Chain A
């Protein structure tokens, strides 16, 4: 509730229009880029405008803050903005997790002629049985699916076929088994360790900041950024492995689809979080945060925790139970 009399209402600003223009060019440019024969020029111009606008915008906010015109109430507005932004991000992931659930638990059994939710009613519907007899005979839904319905049907018609619309992967990304070396060589586990510890390090950094220990703060925050980069590096490694050795690609049916989209969007969010932390790191190194006033850093830290939580969900659902 408003307590002070001077909420800062900024002067007119050219930045919003500039950002909107950038965004418009990016949207238009991206669309013309993905269409066959398109180019990326407009998209790149848009990104530059957008990047410039964002840079100026954040600089302006930081400058306003250092000038001291940002009241606690305004800070609280920023904080609320961040909370709800994170909530919207969460819903974005809910959409993809929900889709994974749907194709995995319901669609698979329907296509191969079983009752979808067996524990509720285990008689398959007429439609499901017809799917298995007339449309996808021979398809056996398991998760992770290493063959696609298309592949099964095409192979049945022509056992030498090599061209498919969707060809399943040779291996999945799931838990490889309990032997020590298998576990040790399992990248997702390392990714989890890296990401979880980064949440720890950012927490330590936060405490250091609250204690007013800038050196410690900068060190631990730097370490967090480093861990973020390591994570991204490992994930890139994993993707290369998937594409080159496991035959797991975006085109390998629903498994490749959900795997790459979920982990890919997570990776994109890690990238964003790392950039936010990096900015906080640079600002911290310049001494712009005090033990009382550091919501810029705090926002980045929340975001980081959020990305972490998503990862735990991914790790359990996509990898361990995958």
Chain B
């Protein structure tokens, strides 16, 4: 209690010191006021038109409101003025209809060219499919056979204040999307369950991920680096917890990374028959569970009454392993319980099923091996 009070009090001090300190700032990101210029043609076009609009509005605002302040100052009753009685003047009325209309026409020109840039998705060098899931992203390099999930890495402890918040709080993921410099990358964006929106401010890319339909966006930059974005369409309770992280690498580096990814997939396929021990699976399973399942079913397996069922003592988790695997592979149609067949590897599915069957006092005692999962998949 005292700790919270102290934190609040310090919190109160911080902004007030900020107001006093004015523009003197230690960490520039913290005090950022304006839109970032970004690193692509599109983001820069957006920034430019944004600045144009700010200036036009400022000028109009200063003129119009300035005039009003003058009137408020000069024509007050306390100064002994008597009110005039006019209430019409065709000339000014026409003028202040026509002039704003002209300003609008002027504004429309750069607005149109900027928009044409946003829509210029033709002839890409690389096609990446982006799928929004509750509450993570999946990236698939179309035609390369590489595909993976990208999930929040920040721990629940940090979020709930049980551990200090790291520097990259809510801006870190398990695997970032990697793209090369100087290549036109096209994103084909869709959703798996509800609508999400894939946003990377520095690219000027924000497109909704609508289930059942694609939207398209593109990017091309010459500046390597790590760019962080967010999900910007309300997608349920984990909306704030599915950041986008993109790493832009030099071309050669990118190629090496991609080759590594392909190799990984090959190695994985060859080891799928390995027999895991009970404890190995528990450890792995707990990780997977914490990352992929706890968001809904909660860390303690008790779910949220009325929304997400408890897995602790659930008949499915205690029943035959087949049925349990089936739910993960197929999902439950028309509910938030999605199919994990595409999102998790066989090893991960086996591990998490095993974990659920043997954690929180569920002790079925059997072992679920990756090969069981593979067999189940193939029997379908």
Contact = CB atoms under 8 A, between A and B. Distances in A.
A149 B212 CA distance: 10
Interface in A131-151: 131, 134-135, 149
Contact of A110 (B122, B213, B216, B333): B213
B330 to A, nearest CB: 12
B308 interface: no
Contact of A135 (B121, B142, B212, B216): B212
Contacts of B212: 111, 135, 149
A138 to B, nearest CB: 15
Given A126-B121, A126-B186, A127-B188, A111 B213 contact: yes
A52 B216 CA distance: 56
A99 B212 CA distance: 18
Nearest to B186: A126
Q: Choose among B142, B188, B190, B333 the residue with the greatest number of A CB atoms under 10 Å from its CB.
A: B188
B363 to A, nearest CB: 32
Contacts of B121: 126
A130 B188 contact: yes
B129 interface: yes
A88 interface: no
Interface string A88-112: 0000000000000000000000110
Contact of A126 (B142, B188, B190, B213): B188
A104 to B, nearest CB: 16
Given A126-B122, A165-B333, A134 B213 contact: no
A125 interface: yes
Q: Choose among B142, B214, B215 the residue with the greatest number of A CB atoms under 10 Å from its CB.
A: B214
Interface in B178-231: 186, 188, 190, 212-216
A247 to B, nearest CB: 21
B122 to A, nearest CB: 7
B216 A134 contact: no
Nearest to B127: A130
Interface in A116-168: 125-128, 130-131, 134-135, 149, 165
Contacts of A125: 216
Interface string B119-130: 001100000010
Nearest to A150: B212
A127 B129 CA distance: 11
B138 to A, nearest CB: 13
A299 B334 CA distance: 45
B125 to A, nearest CB: 14
Nearest to B124: A126
A135 B142 CA distance: 13
A125 B333 CA distance: 30
A111 B213 CA distance: 7
Contacts of A135: 190, 212-214
Q: Choose among A126, A134, A149, A165 the residue with the greatest number of B CB atoms under 10 Å from its CB.
A: A126
Nearest to A165: B333
A147 to B, nearest CB: 16
5 contacts: A125-B216, A130-B216, A134-B190, A135-B213, A135-B214
Query: A-B pairs with the 6 shortest C-beta distances?
Result: A130-B214, A126-B216, A127-B214, A127-B216, A130-B188, A126-B121
Given A126-B216, A134-B129, 4 more contacts: A126-B186, A126-B188, A134-B190, A149-B212
